[in-house]
């Protein structure tokens, strides 16, 4: 049933770093009936850009992200991303190894050629400098999330996936982390796919928005944002969000 492939991108530079086509994805529920999660979804991300998937809770965003990460090969469609590309991933839960220290957690994710790399800068940016020797069980959720983000950036990824990394954080912490994430993605020019149900968050961070429908999920609206990310003030984010919300509602009605 699965016929996906991982291909090298044909051309370098401006080529799409990620092309994902999911014709159908379903899984079997506990009572054995198949549940269709995604149908007819097409997604393309250019190198260095930041895409955000926005949709209601439970619409299959995580499923799409897991397929994009290559963690789930059981779908009908095609996934193309450069084989040589390194993946960094931030899951919805921090998913740290509770029995290893923060620093070990970050270092363990590193590929062999980056072993022994200096983590001071990254730890400084994410405010982890004083916590490197601690165990994840001693950290607050906000700190654990930062460790997960640090781990994803430490591998120096070509391709970064984030699955609602800021849910269940207080607004101040979430906001600070958003700014840190924005700074890091701009600095490293990593191609990023971000999943959220929070529209202003997506507007603040992304270049391109993909609005998702309910199950079975597909893209109902795709929008390129201007001005470029990082240049948007708080008011701009708010007004763009309102505009996008109206557009998305309209797109949903017309479907």
Partner 1 sequence: MPRFLSLVVLVAAWAITAALAQSRLLPGPLAVGATTLAEIRSGELPFQMACTLGRVIGSFAIAMILGSIAGYAMGRSKTLDRFADSWLVVLINMPALVVIIFAYIWIGLNETAAILAVAINKLPNVIVVMREGARALDPEIDEMASAFQFTRFKKLRHVVIPQLAPYLAASSRSGLSIVWKIVLVVELLGRPNGVGFVLGSAFSLFDMAKILSYAICFIVLMLVIEGFVVQPLERRANRWRRRLA
* Closest distance of CB 134 from partner 1, Å: 8
Residue 232's closest CA among 210, 201, 192, 254?
Answer: 201
Q: Between residues 62 and 186, which has the closer beta carbon with respect to partner 1? A: 62
Q: How many residues bind partner 1 (CB under 8 A)?
A: 23
Nearer to partner 1, 78 or 93 (CB): 93
How does 128-141 read in b/e, with b if 16+ C-beta sit within 10 Å? beebbeebbeebee
CB nearer partner 1, residue 131 or residue 223 = 131
Per-residue contact string for residues 29-68; x = within reach of partner 1 by CB under 8 A: -------------------------------------x--
Q: What's the token pair of residue 92?
A: 């919805």
CA–CA gap between residue 139 and residue 145 (Å, rounded): 9
Cβ 127 to partner 1 shortest distance, Å = 18
Interatomic CA distance for residues 185 and 165, integer angstroms: 14
**CA distances (Å), origin 136, targets 99, 107, 117:** 8, 14, 21
Contacts (CB under 8 A) with partner 1, residues 96-135? 97-100, 104, 108-109, 111, 134-135
- Residue number, 68 or 225, with CB nearest to partner 1: 68
CB 53 within 8 A of CB 64: yes
Residues that bind partner 1 (CB under 8 A): 66, 69, 71, 87-89, 91, 93, 95, 97-100, 104, 108-109, 111, 134-135, 137-138, 151, 155
């Amino acid at each position: 049933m699965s016929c996906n492939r991982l291909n090298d991108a044909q051309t370098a530079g401006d080529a799409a770093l990620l092309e994902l086509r999911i014709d159908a994805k379903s899984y079997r529920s506990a009572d054995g009936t198949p549940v269709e999660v995604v149908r007819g979804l097409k997604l393309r991300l250019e190198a260095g850009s930041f895409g955000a998937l926005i949709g209601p809770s439970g619409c299959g965003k995580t499923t799409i992200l897991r397929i994009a990460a290559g963690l789930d090969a059981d779908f009908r469609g095609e996934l193309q991303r450069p084989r040589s590309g390194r993946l960094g991933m931030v899951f919805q839960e921090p998913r740290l190894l509770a029995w290893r220290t923060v620093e070990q957690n970050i270092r363990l994710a590193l590929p062999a050629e980056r072993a022994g790399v200096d983590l001071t800068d990254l730890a400084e940016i994410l405010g982890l400098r004083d916590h490197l020797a601690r165990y994840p069980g001693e950290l607050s959720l906000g700190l654990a999330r930062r460790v997960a983000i640090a781990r994803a950036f430490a591998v120096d990824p070509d391709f970064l996936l984030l699955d609602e990394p800021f849910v269940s954080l207080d607004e101040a912490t979430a906001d600070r982390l958003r700014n840190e994430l924005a700074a890091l993605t701009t600095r490293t020019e990593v191609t990023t796919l971000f999943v959220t149900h929070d529209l202003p968050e997506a507007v603040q961070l992304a270049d391109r928005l993909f609005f998702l429908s309910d199950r079975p999920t597909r893209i109902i609206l795709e929008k390129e944002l201007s001005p470029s990310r990082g240049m948007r003030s708080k008011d701009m984010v708010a007004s763009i969000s309102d505009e996008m919300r109206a557009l998305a509602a309209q797109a949903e009605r017309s479907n």
